[in-house]
Chains A and B, each alone.
Chain A
Amino acid sequence: AQSVTQPDARVTVSEGASLQLRCKYSSSVTPYLFWYVQYPRQGLQLLLKYYSGDPVVQGVNGFEAEFSKSNSSFHLRKASVHWSDSAVYFCAVRYTGGADRLTFGKGTQLIIQP
């Protein structure tokens, strides 16, 4: 069965500093990969997605993620964080065939310090 692990429940970063949020997946085949962001009292919003090709994908608001098949990882990065990036970030996977089901990690809460 596929699973998603986000090892950091909470990450604290100073405003203007760089960011990496980690995500590892377990699947016998490469799934479709996603990062979502959830602001307080709001639904999830898609940041970026990976299907195939260039392992580095660009998303909204300066976010990017890098897929690594050898490490079964899809880490999210940002060069310089802003206070408005404070939110919970979820990594998710979907099989490339079969059921249209998203499997989410537990999420990482990002706290931006002034």
Chain B
Amino acid sequence: EAGVTQSPRYAVLQEGQAVSFWCDPISGHDTLYWYQQPRDQGPQLLVYFRDEAVIDNSQLPSDRFSAVRPKGTNSTLKIQSAKQGDTATYLCASSAGLGGRGAEQFFGPGTRLTVL
């Protein structure tokens, strides 16, 4: 069974440029998460979905970040005008079910973003 896949694996931008990250979760997983992991830090949740609905986007910088999951499968995270402080690895994870002890999250390899 294929795991969580993400693309691209790496991205290098100038400040002010836009970038999109794409995530394909494990087949059948209804919950999808986006995390930001700055260098030498633990992952921090940005947003998560159940099917196509946003459950929690309270940590997503709404002025420049957006995330969608239109058909409840793949998802795209977009940064409109990148800043140097956005330099980090962006991780996507998926799980079968929302909450509860059974909802183990499976992580993709991440996209490493560098903003110059």
- Tell me the A residues contacting B by CB distance below 8 Å: 4, 9, 32, 36, 41-46, 49, 51, 90, 92, 97-102, 104-107
- Set B98, B108, B109: member contacting A100, Cβ < 8 A: B98
Kindly identify, within residues 91 to 116 of chain B, every residue whose CB is under 8 Å from any CB belonging to chain A: 91, 93, 95, 98-99, 101, 103-110
Contact A42 B104 (CB under 8 A): no
Looking at chain B's contact residues, the main secondary structure is loop
- Set B42, B56, B104, B109: member contacting A43, Cβ < 8 A: B109
Given contacts A41-B109, A43-B4, contact A102 B41 (CB under 8 A): no
B45 within 8 A of A: yes
| Total cross-chain contacts (CB, 8 A) | 55
Q: How far is the CA of A104 from the CA of B105 in the complex (A)?
A: 13
Q: How many residues of B contact A (CB 8 A)?
A: 26
Q: How far is the CA of A106 from the CA of B38 in the complex (A)?
A: 10
B44 within 8 A of A: yes
Contact B105 A43 (CB under 8 A): no
Q: How far is the CA of A102 from the CA of B40 in the complex (A)?
A: 18
A35 → chain B closest CB, angstroms? 12
Contact A102 B105 (CB under 8 A): yes
Q: How far is the CA of A92 from the CA of B42 in the complex (A)?
A: 9
Chain A residues near B107 (CB-CB < 8 A): 36, 43-45
Given contacts A41-B109, A43-B108, A100-B48, contact A107 B31 (CB under 8 A): no
B55 within 8 A of A: yes
Contact B110 A101 (CB under 8 A): no
Q: Mark B1-15, 1 if CB is under 8 A from A, else 0.
A: 001100000000000
B43 within 8 A of A: yes
B69 → chain A closest CB, angstroms? 15
Chain A residues near B41 (CB-CB < 8 A): 106-107
- Set B4, B99, B101: member contacting A51, Cβ < 8 A: B101
